[in-house]
Amino acid sequence: MASVYVVGHRGAAGLEPENTLRSFRRALELGVDYVECDVHLTRDGHLVVIHDETLDRTTNGHGRVAEHTLAQIRALDAGLGERVPTLQEVLEAVKGRAGILIELKGPGTEEPVVRQVQALGMEEEVVLTSFHLERLAKVKALMPSLRVGAIFSQPPPDALEQALQVGASGMGVNYRYLRQEWVEAAHAAGLEVRAWNPDTEPEMQAMLALGVDGISTNRPDLLLRLLGRWPR
């Protein structure tokens, strides 16, 4: 059980405004193994960390991220006075303290994200993930040594084959659809399995019982306590 890695989803999204530096710092303070974030491109080509295609849910702004400049997005409140961070800011906050899963949300994010990771020398600390497996194939073409992870909500029958085809080292799967035989099949194929996002202790216990390799959660405090790793 202690070998299961803990991923703070969007930082510690159940405790702080999601995908903000405050949220990532909280996750790091708790002692997660990885944080997870989402990236989109702004109208002027900057990588920003925000989940949705639009600004409406998580900020006091409106409209599509891709139709706003970085300056316009930085002027918004992302919760508790926090700003929408750039990917560089998040990488710099995490570097040397934890790994980071970066979900490629917006189209065209593959190459700029790879270049940003290379510029900071964080190739060993980063895993690029996506529901869009063609984006992972692009990442592997750009930098074959970079780890990528396929994400599925309800995995199709050929999910393992799809993941292997794009060179994924693992898969993230909605915890509601994970089954023992599926985890075993993934392990037999040499793939790690990460469950997302159980946020209660009974849900987390169920995932641990399945033998998953990692768990992504909005409540990393609960998972770390369950694993006997927090409080430290």
Q: CA–CA separation, 76 vs 82, rounded Å? A: 8
DSSP tag of 19: T
- Which is nearest to 215 in space by CA: 63, 229, 188, 53? 229
Q: Is 125 helix (H, G, I), strand (E, B) or coil?
A: coil
What's residue 63's pLDDT?
A: 99
pLDDT confidence tier of residue 113, bands split at 50, 70 and 90 = very high
Q: What is the pTM of this model?
A: 0.98
What's residue 106's pLDDT?
A: 86
What's residue 102's pLDDT?
A: 99
- What mean pLDDT value characterizes the chain? 98
What's residue 232's pLDDT?
A: 78
| The CATH fold of domain 5-52+85-226 | TIM Barrel (3.20.20)
Across the range 215-231, mean pLDDT stands at 97
Query: Are 216 and 10 spatial neighbours (Cβ–Cβ below 8 Å)?
Result: no
Across the range 160-171, mean pLDDT stands at 98
Q: Is 126 helix (H, G, I), strand (E, B) or coil?
A: strand
Q: CA–CA separation, 61 vs 10, rounded Å? A: 19
What's the per-residue H, E or C state across 154-204? CCCCCHHHHHHHCCCCEEEEEHHHCCHHHHHHHHHCCCEEEEECCCCHHHH
Across the range 13-27, mean pLDDT stands at 99
Across the range 19-44, mean pLDDT stands at 99
Q: CA–CA separation, 227 vs 158, rounded Å? A: 32
What's residue 2's pLDDT?
A: 47
pLDDT confidence tier of residue 147, bands split at 50, 70 and 90 = very high
DSSP tag of 66: G
Active site residue 51: yes
Q: What is the per-residue pLDDT across 86-95, written as a single tens digit (0 to 9) for each?
A: 999 999 999 9
Question: DSSP E strands: which ranges in the chain?
Answer: 5-9, 34-41, 47-49, 99-104, 126-130, 147-152, 170-174, 192-196, 214-217
Tokens standing for 160? Answer: 């393992």
What's residue 17's pLDDT?
A: 99
Across the range 181-192, mean pLDDT stands at 97
Active site residue 187: no
Q: Give how far the C-alpha of residue 210 lies from the chain's centroid of Cα atoms, to the nearest Å.
A: 21
Catalytic annotation, pick one of 40, 46, 51, 187:
51
pLDDT beyond 90 at 119:
yes
Tokens standing for 90? Answer: 């998040």
Across the range 85-111, mean pLDDT stands at 98
The two beta strands, 170-174 and 126-130, are unpaired
Q: What percent of the chain has pLDDT over 90?
A: 97
Query: Are 71 and 94 spatial neighbours (Cβ–Cβ below 8 Å)?
Result: no
Angle, alpha carbons 13-178-193 (nearest 5°): 70
Place of tokens 């409540």: 219
Tokens standing for 13? Answer: 């999204």
